Amino acid sequence: MPSLNSQAPQTDRSPRRASRSVLLGAAAAIAIGGVAGYATLVPNFGGSTAAYAQTSPSISAPSFADVVERVRGAVVSVKVKIVDDSQTARNVPNIPQLQPGDPLERFFRQFGEPDQRRSGPRTGMAQGSGFIISADGYVVTNNHVVDHSTEVSLTLDDGRTVAATIIGTDAKTDLALLKIKDGGNYPHVDFAGQSPRVGDWVIAVGNPFGLGGTVTAGIVSARGRDIGSGPYDDYLQIDAPVNRGNSGGPTFNAQGQVVGVNTAIYSPSGGSVGIGFAIPAEVAKDVIASLHDKGSVARGWIGVQIQPVSREIADSLSLKAAKGALVSEAQKDAPAAAAGIRSGDVITAVNGDRIDGPRELARKIASFGPNKKVDVTIVRDGGEKSVSVELGVLPNDQRADAAPTRDRNGGRDQGQNLSRYGMTLAPASQVAGSGREGVVVAEVDPNGPAAQKGLRTGDVILEAAGRAVSRPADVSSALDQARKDGRKAVLLRVKSAEATRFVALATNPAS
């Protein structure tokens, strides 16, 4: 599983004699076997403690033995042969080519470096976990477990080893679907139909550190975790001990149904510290169904760049609450633009389901699939309206163009009152490479109010308070007018190297 090394989540397939160590998911579990019992404290009140013990209520620890006995036959160890032709991934140092017989050749072999006469990709073995979901042998695991693999084999609970093929993978949710090649009637488990609550007991089963089938237990610690691993993060956080090698293994509820697919851990050492992450069953079910039917996942696409609505942005747009997804840019010829959605709109609902922020919007739109029509509720100019959007197909790769080199020596003009914000502006038309629209942030004080709001040297301000700007004075005028109108902030539409976004600049910055 991936392990979040102290600061970040990590995924991991536990490598055995592999050419590299891949800390990926978080689904391994050190053998614990259950939950420790609770001691019964018997106070001495001067009478018979034996009599007290007989009449006092006892607290018994929960046992998951029946559930484990029912489900463990469906949990498998996944072993893959991986091929890596990357110099960096093989940790091969940049050393000169050696002739046969060179004295240094023996030195490099002695200390574990590869034979320099070898050419071509290197191979290794890695391990993870998985679980069977149908009698004919379909198996769920993590994408990172089987990524770059050339051969996949599964070790069943009864000790048999069988070959498997990869039906499909989805990197965005880190899921993969395999199929056992040999026919048979395999033990299998089902996904849960209901999401677990925070505090519910869960049981993790997997193959930690390549040890084989291991069971641990804990509770659901949190829901809806975003660990920065992808655009659709919505993880369950569990405290059942999981470690490297449990990636792709199942997390069960007390009824023996799969509530999550273990995929990452947070750990400073690579071992369990009680913070593991699992893909929820409701997400996994839809992805696995698509992989089964089509071998891939096609997601809906609306074509907008979005950002959260902060309290300052909500105030500047006269919104009642800091909720929704702010459209910083509607991409040209994309479904949103075709439907009339534009920058500055705030998306608050899709098909009547409330949207609290960008993550909810991304997941919601993706779940519909392409070519579906959805009703998108937006707030514009203080009013609410509904827009019908026909979704497109999510492009595989979307990249922001690198920022051009800018000449910051020309045409500087702070404009009225902008020195209070710690920035110097210049018309974009006077700064090479900045285009002809907007004004460029030519200089910014790293300790000033503008920098604190995220403005950086080279950013281009395209709009202020919903109006296009071409001179620094336009920005200053927008701030002055907002101050007279009693508004706390002005919304600036800003283009940077990464994307277009909105920045709420206070009308009365602290001096």
Catalytic residues: 144, 174, 247
Q: State the SS3 of 289-300.
A: HHHHHHCCCCCE
**What whole-number distance in Å separates Cα of residue 428 and Cα of residue 37?**
70
**What whole-number distance in Å separates Cα of residue 168 and Cα of residue 147?**
11
Given a contact cutoff of 8 angstroms between Cβ atoms, the answer to whether 504 and 478 are in contact is: no
Measured CA to CA in angstroms, residue 466 lies from 254, 416, 462, 475 at distances of: 54, 19, 9, 11
> How distant is the alpha carbon of residue 456 from its chain centre?
27
Q: Where do we find the tokens 């925070």?
A: 198
Q: Cβ neighbours of residue 87 under 8 Å, at least 6 residues apart?
A: none
Question: CA neighbours within 13 Å on the CB side: how many for 318?
Answer: 11
**What whole-number distance in Å separates Cα of residue 496 and Cα of residue 297?**
31
Tell me the H-state helices in 111-195: 143-146
**DSSP codes, 104-128:** HHHHHHHTTPPPTT--S-EEEEEEE
**What whole-number distance in Å separates Cα of residue 142 and Cα of residue 177?**
8
Given a contact cutoff of 8 angstroms between Cβ atoms, the answer to whether 28 and 75 are in contact is: no
Q: Where do we find the tokens 């940049």?
A: 94
3-state secondary structure of 208: helix
**What whole-number distance in Å separates Cα of residue 231 and Cα of residue 467?**
31
For 1-74, strand residue ranges (E) read 3-5, 14-16
- Among candidates 401, 507, 493, 379, which has minimal Cα distance to 438? 493
3-state secondary structure of 79: strand
**DSSP codes, 304-336:** EEEEE--HHHHHHTT-SSS-SEEEEEEPTTSHH
Neighbours of 272 (CB within 10 A): 28
3-state secondary structure of 130: strand
Give the dihedral sign, CA 90/272/234/308. Answer: negative
Q: Which helix (H) or strand (E) holds 358?
A: helix 358-368
Tokens standing for residue 465: 């308070």
Given a contact cutoff of 8 angstroms between Cβ atoms, the answer to whether 152 and 161 are in contact is: no
